[in-house]
Chains A and B, each alone.
Chain A
Amino acid sequence: MSERDVILSAKDVEVQFQVRGRILTAIRGISLDIYEGETIAIVGESGSGKSVFTKTFTGMLETNGQISNGSVIFEGKDLTKLKKDQDWEGIRGAKISTVFQDPMTSLNPVRTIGYQIAEVIIKHQKKSKDEAKKLAIKLMEEVGISDAANRYDEYPFQYSGGMRQRIVIAIALACHPKILICDEPTTALDVTIQAQILKLIKDLQKEYGYTTVYITHDLGVVANVADRVAVMYAGQIVEIGKAEEVFYTPKHPYTWALLSSLPQLGIKGEDLYAITGTPPSLYDKVVGDAFAPRNPYAMQIDFEEEPPMFKVSDTHYAKTWLLDPRAPKAEPPKAIQNLHKRLLSITDERGDYRG
């Protein structure tokens, strides 16, 4: 992994929001290198800052939010320094694209599908209308819309949810972006369509060679597609590593808790595991480990001092005091021990969940 080129490098990113006169620190110093061509998944519960973090790549923070510290270097440029819309021209939508959660509402209901695809091509690739139409139809075919030429002039309400998400992907890929951010791309779709969309994004990645950043709370999606996984909690990355490392040898108690609460891994006859408590308020300064109050393995130091990133392997890091040599040895919960074997037992030979 390390021999690959870093395409985007975030350093100590901190994002703050003004909410009714108070300051909320949504991202508390994240450093993350994203490598060219990889698929990285950012997982975490609602409010952990997954979306906010990736919004700093495209300058799409809400107007009351600002990047208060750190840098995001992309192609030699610090994206945190870009303020105006003109500055983002040529990056947002052209080199870094986003696919949003709800395909039902992501498209303008009163513009034709064709118009909405061609618009981007005209804008970023400076093509004429006719050329843009040809390219758009080709794109529609690539994302699996049959009879694309005839459906070019149709409106979003004439498309099903899955087809709309294909169109959204087509629009996002229209300008051959370097990075594709998928913000919960399958949450609003039913399971069979989910699989199709994930496969589509994967297949097109081979052709277009983009880097994919998944934002999701669905660990099933992560297991399916991700090369690397970053687990976020309370505005920080608490564990990052290759997908196998995070799934099979997780080190952070929060990752343990997340995996334990997967319904598929529940043990028959036992109650499904649920993480107790709620995440800390980000209005106040978090002292120590943010997860400590909910952490059954918490030690005294967790409440006093923030843990550093401990290196587990070259690719695997976790932010917990449990990895300190002085810490007592803690066993992961039973539900996720031997996860590899357990997963094999509940999935078929193709790797799909048997249910």
Chain B
Amino acid sequence: MKRYFLGRLIRSIFSIFIVVIIAIVMIFGLIPKEKVFENDPQLSKLSGKPDDRTTYIYTRWEELGYLDYVTQADMCKAYSDDYNECMRLDVTQETNETGKVVDVYSNSEEGQKVIKIYEEQGYTVDYMTTGFAWASRDNSIFNIAVKYITNMFKVDNPWAVTDPDNPDMDRSIYFGTDNNGMPALKCSGCEHQYLIYVDGSFPFIHQNWISLNFGRSYPTYSGSYTMDVISDQQGEYVQKEVTFDNGTTAMSSLDLHSCQYKQTSTLDRMDKSRFETNYANCKSFKSEASMINMSYIFGIISLIIAYIIAIPSGIIMAQKKDKWQDKLGMVYINVMIAVPSLAFIYFARNIGIMFNQPTKFPTYGGGDIRSYILPGIILALLSTASLMIWMRRYMVDQSNADYVKFARAKGLSQGEIFRRHILKNAIIPIVNGIPSSIILCIGGSVITESVFSIPGMGKMLPDAINANNNAMIITLTFIFTALSIIALLLGDVLMTFVDPRIQLSSKGETR
């Protein structure tokens, strides 16, 4: 069992990375890099200013990992002893073909020397209209992939922060309490102040120690880390009474557990009045759950409703095969499968309107139960049809098995046979699918979330692909792949509990 899991875990991790690498190769290798600016309104504002435009484009590309971009200032800082001489430009005036007199800039000898060094390193050198040089070198896909994977897991440590204005910073991990007096593992010198902390929200123990990092989102949600985009709370700021480190109490929306190091040079008066340390860069409490949680809440609600409806109905249909109950269920299943889901959603929404249910999630927001009822039921009903038909199918298959015939010959009643024998066999394939259903709720549902304007995950992947949001695509690819693989593993583990014939062990391992 142990060996099996180890082997499977290694294979799982390996396949996750393979999938991520394939995604990276597709994104960076097959899509021209100019595409990333298609949805960027910023760029059109720069159309009259070629230098700014070049700087903007190449800075972005560097940020996205496509290439290395250096300005003359960077070059001179790196390779010249005399920065000023290196940056000096000689101006001569020349007459061009149209007879106009124009300024022509040329670099100093020191400057040319440095530029040469970069050219030799494979950089393409070009000049701004101001005469300063800049250079760029494309990164290979291999380098990009390596960079993504090596940066993927960020482990916080006491040497993570470098702040020239705070050289004597204490660097240690220690046990302490948070502002509510709860125990916490804290750190000085790390990015995060709280590495492990306890609070009242599920799952009660939280950590900032290890975080996933896929870079920043661009062009949508520009500037935020992709993980923050999908996992930070949304909506309006929610203020609570907060007691800060130094004892001041104020109405604030800051989530002190999330505070990160802020460079001394950027600390403002407000920060200094509240925080004793440099950990003043905090996230805020907001009114709505994060995208992930939003999709998850709806997913779980609908899943529970779906199973509560579909499993018993499927069982009844099998038990009353060819009777009116079965026929009625079949009509329902056929209708649900035949009607396009969008049509069904609007139909159900109109029924909801008759019962005064809101048609948009933001009408009442996440704090009101009415926002969840209609979408939850619709999502549930959409998945009942297939669940019902499978449950019925498995039950009917099993009821034709020989052991059922023998159980009847043993003198058991029909009900006893169904309860004690058929159900336990028929439920096995259903059980295998349960972890996937639960975990993959995270993906949200595209159509229902759009119709009800739910700020969930459903549209993230298609939107990210449309907007060429590379980092987001890779983030979602990683998350969905990892969760699918975990779900499969859990499904198999669960199977061993309901089916004694299945043992998870590798070849040659004793049970």
How far is A307 from B47 in the complex, measured between Cα atoms in Å? Answer: 108
Pairwise interchain contact B409-A105, C-beta atoms closer than 8 A: no
Is B269's CB within 8 Å of the partner chain A? Answer: no
Q: How many residues of A contact B (CB 8 A)?
A: 33
Q: A133-157 interface mask toward B, CB cutoff 8 Å, 1 = contact, 0 = none?
A: 0000000000000000000000101
Is B486's CB within 8 Å of the partner chain A? Answer: no
Q: Tell me whether A60 and B408 are in contact in the complex, defined as CB-CB below 8 angstroms, given that A108-B425, A109-B501 are known contacts.
A: yes
How far is A168 from B411 in the complex, measured between Cα atoms in Å? Answer: 14
Which residues of chain B (452-511) have a CB below 8 Å from chain A?
A: 498-501
Nearest CB on A from B131, distance (A)? 81
How far is A172 from B408 in the complex, measured between Cα atoms in Å? Answer: 11
Is B165's CB within 8 Å of the partner chain A? Answer: no
How far is A60 from B416 in the complex, measured between Cα atoms in Å? Answer: 16
Pairwise interchain contact A120-B405, C-beta atoms closer than 8 A: no
- Specify the chain A residue showing the minimal Cβ separation from B415: A85
B residues within 8 A CB of A107? Answer: 403, 406
Is B264's CB within 8 Å of the partner chain A? Answer: no
Which residues of chain B (370-418) have a CB below 8 Å from chain A?
A: 401-403, 405-414, 416
Which residues of chain A (142-178) have a CB below 8 Å from chain B?
A: 155, 157, 168, 171-172, 175
Q: Tell me whether A108 and B403 are in contact in the complex, defined as CB-CB below 8 angstroms, given that A119-B420, A155-B501 are known contacts.
A: yes
Q: B300-337 interface mask toward A, CB cutoff 8 Å, 1 = contact, 0 = none?
A: 00000000000000000000000000000000000000
Nearest CB on B from A267, distance (A)? 39
- Specify the chain B residue showing the minimal Cβ separation from A100: B406
A residues within 8 A CB of B499? Answer: 110
Which residues of chain B (194-251) have a CB below 8 Å from chain A?
A: none
Q: Tell me whether A92 and B403 are in contact in the complex, defined as CB-CB below 8 angstroms, given that A86-B413, A110-B499, A119-B420 are known contacts.
A: no
Is B421's CB within 8 Å of the partner chain A? Answer: yes
- Specify the chain B residue showing the minimal Cβ separation from A153: B500
Pairwise interchain contact B411-A111, C-beta atoms closer than 8 A: no
B residues within 8 A CB of A109? Answer: 403, 425, 500-501
Identify which of A86, A112, A120, A157 contacts B410 (C-beta below 8 A).
Answer: A120
B residues within 8 A CB of A111? Answer: 420-421, 424
How far is A91 from B408 in the complex, measured between Cα atoms in Å? Answer: 12
- Specify the chain A residue showing the minimal Cβ separation from B407: A108
- Specify the chain A residue showing the minimal Cβ separation from B427: A110
Identify which of B402, B407, B411, B416 contacts A88 (C-beta below 8 A).
Answer: B411
Nearest CB on B from A113, distance (A)? 11
Nearest CB on A from B440, distance (A)? 27
How far is A216 from B412 in the complex, measured between Cα atoms in Å? Answer: 26
Q: A90-101 interface mask toward B, CB cutoff 8 Å, 1 = contact, 0 = none?
A: 111110011010
How far is A102 from B424 in the complex, measured between Cα atoms in Å? Answer: 21
Pairwise interchain contact B410-A171, C-beta atoms closer than 8 A: yes
B residues within 8 A CB of A155? Answer: 500-501
Is B114's CB within 8 Å of the partner chain A? Answer: no
A residues within 8 A CB of B428? Answer: 110
Nearest CB on B from A155, distance (A)? 5
B residues within 8 A CB of A85? Answer: 413-414
Nearest CB on B from A188, distance (A)? 11
Pairwise interchain contact B411-A105, C-beta atoms closer than 8 A: no
B residues within 8 A CB of A123? Answer: 410-412, 416
Identify which of B411, B420, B498 contacts A93 (C-beta below 8 A).
Answer: B411
Identify which of B402, B407, B416, B424 contacts A110 (C-beta below 8 A).
Answer: B424
B residues within 8 A CB of A94? Answer: 411
Q: Tell me whether A105 and B408 are in contact in the complex, defined as CB-CB below 8 angstroms, given that A85-B413, A110-B499, A157-B501 are known contacts.
A: no
Chain B binding surface, main DSSP class:
helix
Identify which of B406, B411, B416, B498 contacts A106 (C-beta below 8 A).
Answer: B406
Is A58's CB within 8 Å of the partner chain B? Answer: yes
Nearest CB on B from A60, distance (A)? 6
Pairwise interchain contact A157-B409, C-beta atoms closer than 8 A: no
Pairwise interchain contact A100-B414, C-beta atoms closer than 8 A: no
B residues within 8 A CB of A58? Answer: 409
Pairwise interchain contact A106-B403, C-beta atoms closer than 8 A: yes
A residues within 8 A CB of B500? Answer: 109-110, 112, 155, 157
Pairwise interchain contact B401-A119, C-beta atoms closer than 8 A: no
Pairwise interchain contact A110-B401, C-beta atoms closer than 8 A: no
- Specify the chain A residue showing the minimal Cβ separation from B322: A63
Which residues of chain B (75-123) have a CB below 8 Å from chain A?
A: none
Pairwise interchain contact B424-A93, C-beta atoms closer than 8 A: no
Nearest CB on B from A350, distance (A)? 33
- Specify the chain B residue showing the minimal Cβ separation from A104: B402
Pairwise interchain contact A110-B410, C-beta atoms closer than 8 A: no
Pairwise interchain contact B409-A97, C-beta atoms closer than 8 A: yes
Identify which of B402, B412, B414, B416 contacts A102 (C-beta below 8 A).
Answer: B402
B residues within 8 A CB of A91? Answer: 411
Identify which of B405, B421, B424 contacts A100 (C-beta below 8 A).
Answer: B405
How far is A204 from B416 in the complex, measured between Cα atoms in Å? Answer: 29
Is A124's CB within 8 Å of the partner chain B? Answer: yes
Which residues of chain B (27-46) have a CB below 8 Å from chain A?
A: none
Pairwise interchain contact A92-B409, C-beta atoms closer than 8 A: yes
How far is A34 from B1 in the complex, measured between Cα atoms in Å? Answer: 55
Is A218's CB within 8 Å of the partner chain B? Answer: no
How far is A90 from B413 in the complex, measured between Cα atoms in Å? Answer: 11
How far is A97 from B421 in the complex, measured between Cα atoms in Å? Answer: 19
Is A203's CB within 8 Å of the partner chain B? Answer: no
Q: Tell me whether A89 and B411 are in contact in the complex, defined as CB-CB below 8 angstroms, given that A106-B406, A108-B403 are known contacts.
A: yes
How far is A239 from B346 in the complex, measured between Cα atoms in Å? Answer: 72
How far is A85 from B412 in the complex, measured between Cα atoms in Å? Answer: 9
Pairwise interchain contact A106-B420, C-beta atoms closer than 8 A: no
Nearest CB on A from B433, distance (A)? 17
Nearest CB on A from B405, distance (A)? 7
Q: A118-134 interface mask toward B, CB cutoff 8 Å, 1 = contact, 0 = none?
A: 01100110000000000
How far is A120 from B411 in the complex, measured between Cα atoms in Å? Answer: 8
How far is A107 from B411 in the complex, measured between Cα atoms in Å? Answer: 14
Nearest CB on A from B58, distance (A)? 64
Pairwise interchain contact A92-B424, C-beta atoms closer than 8 A: no
Nearest CB on A from B318, distance (A)? 14
A residues within 8 A CB of B409? Answer: 58, 60, 92-93, 97-98, 100, 172
How far is A141 from B416 in the complex, measured between Cα atoms in Å? Answer: 27
Pairwise interchain contact A110-B501, C-beta atoms closer than 8 A: yes
How far is A168 from B406 in the complex, measured between Cα atoms in Å? Answer: 9
- Specify the chain B residue showing the minimal Cβ separation from A120: B410
| Most chain A CB inside 10 Å of its own CB: which residue of B405, B411, B500 | B411
B residues within 8 A CB of A119? Answer: 410, 412, 420
- Specify the chain A residue showing the minimal Cβ separation from B405: A100
Pairwise interchain contact B402-A100, C-beta atoms closer than 8 A: yes
How far is A73 from B73 in the complex, measured between Cα atoms in Å? Answer: 109
A residues within 8 A CB of B406? Answer: 98, 100, 106-107, 168, 171
Report the 10 A-B pairs with minimum CB-CB distance, sorted nearest first: A93-B411, A105-B402, A98-B409, A93-B410, A106-B406, A108-B403, A92-B411, A155-B500, A85-B413, A108-B421
Additional A-B contact list (11), CB under 8 Å, known A88-B411, A92-B408, A92-B411: A60-B408, A89-B413, A93-B412, A100-B409, A107-B403, A107-B406, A110-B428, A110-B499, A120-B410, A123-B412, A124-B411
Can you offer 13 A-B residue contacts whose CB atoms are under 8 A?
A: A98-B409, A105-B401, A106-B402, A108-B421, A109-B500, A110-B500, A111-B421, A111-B424, A119-B410, A119-B412, A123-B416, A124-B411, A172-B409
